[in-house]
């Protein structure tokens, strides 16, 4: 097993923690959810999967930093990882929180260059990485794989445009509601009361994701809780009235 903390440095050997040792079939099932594999048949998907390197990333470990050279993409098999940027005056912005089956870093496959953000494990993570050199032959032989990746990049671009629009046109409570709904779509578990979302983010990280101060975000969360729309539970939340949150997010 490998632990990588920079794309351009040689990996250092590290054992995968026992609680991250997924059965091979389970890991394959999770990885196959990534957009990279959407256009592949079983045989081709297995061949690509066998070219991937397993990466164990303990909680708090940096995978790569903004400005590091990058030439590989990653798929999350287990755990959560955050990608953020830091301004010249030291302010931090959280671009995304990624979980099982999600892919990131694919831009550097097409254009190996400096990373645009810093990736840090929010929880213990198990990742699979694929280098540009290993993927390019597949892109040349299988145009459908290229199209699948381009669709993923298009979705990401649309999402980035939507975030910019929200910062301009939406107020903080609306952005908080929208972020919670997005986290619920990807990490939520239905319960008798509502949707339980273990986002594993601190209050500061949640504020960075929304693009507002921690005080303002906490005020919005307290207001939603007071209205009975949700229940706060440390680094988790249970959405009790999803429909009202959806209306507030518009």
pLDDT in tens, 8-41: 443 433 444 444 444 456 667 777 788 778 777 7
Nearest alpha carbon to residue 134 among 77, 72, 75: 72
pLDDT in tens, 169-183: 789 999 999 999 999
Nearest C-alpha neighbor of 81 from the set 68, 70, 95 = 95
Q: Tell me the average pLDDT across 64-75.
A: 92
Residue 139: CB partners within 8 Å, gap ≥ 6? 145, 146, 149
> Which residue intervals of the chain bear CATH 1.10.10.10?
170-249
Q: Which residues pair with 195 in a beta bridge?
A: 190, 239
Architecture in CATH of 170-249: Orthogonal Bundle (1.10)
- pLDDT tens, 101-113? 899 988 887 788 8
Would the pTM of this model clear 0.95, i.e. be above it?
no
Where are the CATH 2.60.120.10 domain residues in the chain?
Answer: 2-167
Q: What is the pLDDT of residue 4?
A: 43
Most confident option among 45-49, 132-136, 175-179: 175-179
pLDDT at residue 166, as a whole number: 74
Backbone angles phi, psi at 53, to 5 degrees: -105, 130
Tell me if the domain spanning 2-167 has CATH number 3.40.50.720: no
Give the closest residue to 109 by CA, choosing from 81, 77, 137. 137
Say whether pLDDT at 119 is over 80: yes
- At 185, is the secondary structure helix, strand, or coil? helix
């Amino acid at each position: 097993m490998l632990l990588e903390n920079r794309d351009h440095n040689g990996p250092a050997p590290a054992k995968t923690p026992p609680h991250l040792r997924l059965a091979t079939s389970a890991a394959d099932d999770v990885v196959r959810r990534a957009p990279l594999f959407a256009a592949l048949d079983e045989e081709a998907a297995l061949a690509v999967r066998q070219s991937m390197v397993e990466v164990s990333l303990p909680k708090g470990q940096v995978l790569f930093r903004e400005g590091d050279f990058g030439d590989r993409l990653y798929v999350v098999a287990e755990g959560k990882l955050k990608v953020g940027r830091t301004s010249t005056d030291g302010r931090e912005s959280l671009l995304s929180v990624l979980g099982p089956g999600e892919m990131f870093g694919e831009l550097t496959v097409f254009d190996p260059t400096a990373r645009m953000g810093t990736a840090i494990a929010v929880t213990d993570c198990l990742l699979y990485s694929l280098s540009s050199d290993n993927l390019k032959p597949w892109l040349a032989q299988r145009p459908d794989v290229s199209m699948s990746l381009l669709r993923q990049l298009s979705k990401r671009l649309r999402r980035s445009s939507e975030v910019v629009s929200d910062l301009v046109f939406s107020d903080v409570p609306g952005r908080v509601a929208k972020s919670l709904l997005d986290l619920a779509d990807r990490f939520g578990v239905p319960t008798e009361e509502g949707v339980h979302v273990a986002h594993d983010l601190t209050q500061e990280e949640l504020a960075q994701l929304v693009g507002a101060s921690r005080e303002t975000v906490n005020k919005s969360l307290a207001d939603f809780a007071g209205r009975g729309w949700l229940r706060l539970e440390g680094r988790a939340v249970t959405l009790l009235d999803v429909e009202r949150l959806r209306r507030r997010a518009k």
